[in-house]
């Protein structure tokens, strides 16, 4: 079978693959055909988030995707390509700090019920693979948008019973944050962990409203937009 890999230009490789993951195929190419091919990998089992890339335009983890004849493999979008399938994640990861995605102070001995724990169980499954940033149309045009995984992480802490200053976190995500998202759901569709940053952003909007923030789009245009929050112009 043949697969095409975008390395600056698209190169075609002939491989013997039977029910193999893309990562296995990349390893095969690298160790037997062309050792100059650059990509990242780690755990091989979908938890370290190293091998996110795109196949036929869609974000996947190479270790969890079975190759098909004719596949086109490309690096993630919306991040500088360092080489071949490797992108620079420094800027994207930097949004976690900008969004203050951490507990604001240590806190001892808080009891947490099953229900309270469930509130952010899924969100804390995030592996920071970056697929959601690659798929996000808003991040593509606004490079200062805090972006899906950072906002999911904010929800993860804001909703944590141990967080003593959630208001500060909400204050911090009003600009280039929750209101800039178009709720297009692209991030949800590509997340290998089944996380919906879109849904988390909606929850953060509700929290924002509770402390008095308003959708700036509504504020300037009155209530003429759709109440699902979709763009109104």
Give the residues lining the site for ligand SF4 (CB under 6 A). 126-132, 135-138, 148-149, 152, 181-187, 190-193, 195, 197-198, 201
- Which of the stretches 44-52, 70-78, 195-203, 223-231 binds another protein when contact is defined by CB under 8 A? 44-52
Site for another protein in 104-143 (CB under 8 A): 104, 106-114, 116-117, 120-121, 124-128
Q: Is 11 or 55 the residue whose CB approaches ligand SF4 more closely?
A: 55
CA 74 to chain CA centroid, Å, is: 17
CA distance 182 to 212: 21
- Under the criterion CB under 8 A, does residue 168 sit at the interface with another protein? no
How far apart CA 141 and CA 118 sit, in angstroms, is 34
Question: DSSP letter string over 24-65?
Answer: HHHHHIIIII-TT-----SSSSSSS---EEEETTEEEEGGG-
Regarding 162 and contact with another protein (CB under 8 A), the answer is yes
| Near another protein in 172-231, by CB under 8 A | none
Closest CA to 61 of 71, 82, 72, 47: 47
Please identify, using beta-carbon distances, which residue of 75 and 148 lies nearer to ligand SF4.
148
Contacted by 196, from ligand SF4, another protein, none: CB < 5 to 8 Å by type? none
DSSP type of residue 171: H
Q: Distance between CA 115 and CA 137 in Å, rounded?
A: 34
On whether the CB atoms of residues 67 and 3 are closer than 8 A, the answer is: yes
From the list another protein, ligand SF4, none, which binds 168 (C-beta under 5 to 8 Å, kind-based)? none
- DSSP one-letter string for 109-134: -----HHHHHTTTTGGG-----HHHH
Single residue of 12, 56, 68, 82 touching another protein by CB under 8 A = 82
**Contacts with another protein, residue ranges (CB under 8 A):** 19, 21, 24, 30-32, 35-36, 38-45, 47-50, 64, 66, 82-84, 86, 88-90, 93, 96-97, 100-104, 106-114, 116-117, 120-121, 124-128, 153, 156-157, 160, 162-163
């Amino acid at each position: 079978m043949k697969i095409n890999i975008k390395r600056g230009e698209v190169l075609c490789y002939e491989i013997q693959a039977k029910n193999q993951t893309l990562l296995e195929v990349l390893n095969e190419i690298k160790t037997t055909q062309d050792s100059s091919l650059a990509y990242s990998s780690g755990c091989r089992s979908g938890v370290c988030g190293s091998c996110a890339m795109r196949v036929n335009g869609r974000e996947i983890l190479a270790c969890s995707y079975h190759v098909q004849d004719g596949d086109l493999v490309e690096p993630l979008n919306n991040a500088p390509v360092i080489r071949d399938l490797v992108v620079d994640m420094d800027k994207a990861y930097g949004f976690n700090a900008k969004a203050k995605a951490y507990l604001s102070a240590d806190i001892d001995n808080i009891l947490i019920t099953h229900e309270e724990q469930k509130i952010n169980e899924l969100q804390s499954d995030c592996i920071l693979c970056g697929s959601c940033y690659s798929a996000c149309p808003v991040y593509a045009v606004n490079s200062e948008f805090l972006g899906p995984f950072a906002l999911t992480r904010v929800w993860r802490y804001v909703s944590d019973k141990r967080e003593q200053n959630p208001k500060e976190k909400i204050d911090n995500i009003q600009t280039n944050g929750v209101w800039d998202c178009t709720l297009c759901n692209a991030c949800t569709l590509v997340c290998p962990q089944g996380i919906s940053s879109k849904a988390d952003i909606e929850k953060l909007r509700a929290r924002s409203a509770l402390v008095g923030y308003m959708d700036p789009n509504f504020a300037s245009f009155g209530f003429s937009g759709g109440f699902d929050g979709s763009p109104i112009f």
